[in-house]
């Protein structure tokens, strides 16, 4: 990845409305009230967040190494 792509990855954040939706889905999941579509949406969101949680630190390290 080039520097511009690494910076974009490091700065990537969910929009407030997306965070609110994920929190709402999480609450419904904890209460056992998710529909099938909601469950799929929530699981995809959690998987993507985990994926970013792995990639962003690597991108930060690479940017720091480039100095």
Which residue is associated with the tokens 């995809």? Answer: 44
pLDDT at position 4 is: 96
pLDDT at position 20 is: 98
- Domain residue ranges of the chain, discontinuous segments joined by +: 3-66
pLDDT at position 10 is: 96
Residues across the chain: 67
* DSSP-derived secondary structure letter, 41: H
Q: What are the pLDDT tens digits along the chain (67 aa)?
A: 899 999 999 999 999 999 999 999 999 999 999 999 999 999 999 999 999 999 999 999 999 999 7
Q: Exposed, middle or buried: residue 44 (CB in 10 Å: 0-12, 13-18, 19+)?
A: exposed
Q: How many CA atoms lie within 13 A of 18 on its CB side?
A: 10
- CB neighbourhood size of 59 (10 A): 19
pLDDT at position 67 is: 77
């Amino acid at each position: 990845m080039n520097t511009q792509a690494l910076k974009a990855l490091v700065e990537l954040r969910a929009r407030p409305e997306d965070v609110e939706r994920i929190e709402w889905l999480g609450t419904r999941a904890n209460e056992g009230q998710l529909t099938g579509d909601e469950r799929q949406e929530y699981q995809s969101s959690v998987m993507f967040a985990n994926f970013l949680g792995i990639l962003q630190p690597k991108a930060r390290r690479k940017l720091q190494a480039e100095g």
